[in-house]
Amino acid sequence: MREPDPTSRPSVAVVGCGAWTAVGPGVSALWSAVRAHASGLCPDRRFDSPRFQSAIVGAALQDDTGSDDPAFLLATEALGEARAQAGDLLASLPAARIGLVLSTTKANVTALERLAEGRPCSDPARRHIQGDLLAADLARVHAVQGPVQCVSVACISGLVAIVQGVRMIQGGAADAVCVVGVDVLSAFVVAGFTALKAIDPEGCRPFDRDRRGLSPGEAGAAVVLVRADRAPRPAIVIRGWGGSNDANHVTGPSRDGSGLAQAIRCALETARLRPDEIDHVHAHGTGTPYNDAMEALALRTVFGEAGLSVNGSKGMLGHTLGAAGVVETIVCLRAMEEGWLPGTPGLVTPAEGAPSGLVREPRPATLNHVLKLNTGFGGANGALILGHG
């Protein structure tokens, strides 16, 4: 049923990365924290109130910045870093051949809070409560004149945005695509997760026996995609992807993991890889009891009991929602480039049924193919496979 020769599509490589996360601005800060097994989660006085389940969050920005447009700030800084890393390659392309895909769930929710409360708000900040306008302004500031999209598929948004970027390039709509993920910490989001009783008062502990939930986080993250044959040096490529829906519950994951397993199998199929060719899985790992259990079950369904190495980064960065897929993909890229397995900050005692190959602390490893997973409200599941170009 597929087109006759899907392999004729060009490979797409990542030639630039940028990030601003709870462990500081820049991909170098992110990677240093991964290597040091450090966590950016800490108490934040903005959320030190009975209204919130916990004050422990993954804040990228200081709580006293007072900015009414933190989403634009984080996104534009991350994109600037990614563009700088892509360097001459982007500069050599016509602006009309460069696209941008923004991944966000709440865009500049800070301004929405202010407007709803009757507080002052600048015009740009007001515009950026709409994700598509935030995407358009990022494109304008960064001289991107090709196709622009704003993708929002709950917590799999980042992976979907990367795949949309690949589709733009393979479909001929663009020669390069900047994929940007951003979501910011806000009373809105922390109150929402508090209402759902989904926050761990002691901080996120992915796959841990005593885990109780997630830690809200914020980040801006960006990658620059190009056709692999344009990359100036061997680069990590997007090998495959898959998506699915649990069709089960709006906020709860399926209990049997079948939806996520379906997404993983689709990704393996598009990558033309067998399960035993995956070296490592970077899990969604929210630290919520049901989601981690479901994810472990899905991995066991596809990969068996072979002890495949698995880690999660949300005990370091918090759950950065629409940025999560992009920033966690950057962790995978750096891990493959450096030959170093990331650990799972927050994990102390693995839960019964957790993946047997959980990586607690970082260590050297050769990684040829890495699988990145995300799942989200509304039953959405996403899987992305990275390989060496």
Partner 1 sequence: MDNLIIAAASRVSEADLPMARLGKRFGRLDLASQLVLLAVEMLGIDFDTQRRDRVGICLAARAGSLATDLEFWRGRDAVGGPSPTLFAYTLPSMAIGEIAIRHRLTGPNLCVVGSDVVLAGAVDWLRRGEAEACVCVACEVVTPALAGLIGVPPVATAAAVYVQRGGVGLRVWEENDRDIASLCAVLCGHNGRN
How many whole angstroms separate alpha carbon 367 and alpha carbon 139?
34
- HEC readout, 247-308: CCCCCCCCCCCHHHHHHHHHHHHHHCCCHHHCCEEECCCCCCHHHHHHHHHHHHHHHCCCCC
Q: What secondary structure does DSSP assign to 340-381, as a single string?
A: EE---TT-SSBPTTS-TEE--S-EE---SEEEEEEEEGGGEE
**Token pair listed for 365:** 């490893």
How many whole angstroms separate alpha carbon 198 and alpha carbon 213?
5
> What is the smallest separation between the CB atom of 279 and partner 1, expressed in angstroms?
25
Q: Does position 109 bind partner 1 by CB under 8 A? A: yes
**Token pair listed for 232:** 């100036």
Q: Does position 91 bind partner 1 by CB under 8 A? A: no
Q: Does position 133 bind partner 1 by CB under 8 A? A: yes
Catalytic residues: 155, 284, 319
> What is the smallest separation between the CB atom of 375 and partner 1, expressed in angstroms?
11
> Pairing relation of β-strands 280-282 and 309-311?
parallel
**Token pair listed for 317:** 């960065």
Q: Please pick, from the candidates 188, 290, 360, 368, the single residue that binds partner 1 as defined by CB under 8 A.
A: 188
**Token pair listed for 311:** 């880690």
Q: Does position 259 bind partner 1 by CB under 8 A? A: yes
Backbone angles phi and psi of 103, in degrees to 5: -110, 120
> What is the smallest separation between the CB atom of 244 and partner 1, expressed in angstroms?
5
Q: Please pick, from the candidates 171, 201, 232, 234, the single residue that binds partner 1 as defined by CB under 8 A.
A: 171
Q: Please pick, from the candidates 242, 287, 362, 387, the single residue that binds partner 1 as defined by CB under 8 A.
A: 242
How many positions of this chain bind partner 1 (CB under 8 A)?
60
**Token pair listed for 114:** 């202010």
Pick between residue 322 and residue 342 the one whose CB is nearest to partner 1.
322
Q: Does position 260 bind partner 1 by CB under 8 A? A: no
Pick between residue 91 and residue 195 the one whose CB is nearest to partner 1.
195
Q: Please pick, from the candidates 115, 290, 350, 365, the single residue that binds partner 1 as defined by CB under 8 A.
A: 115
Q: Does position 6 bind partner 1 by CB under 8 A? A: yes
> What is the smallest separation between the CB atom of 139 and partner 1, expressed in angstroms?
12
Residue numbers of the site for partner 1 (CB under 8 A)? Answer: 1-4, 6, 51, 105-107, 109, 112-113, 115-116, 126, 129-133, 135, 149-154, 156, 160, 164, 167, 171, 187-188, 191-197, 242-251, 259, 262, 266, 270, 376-380
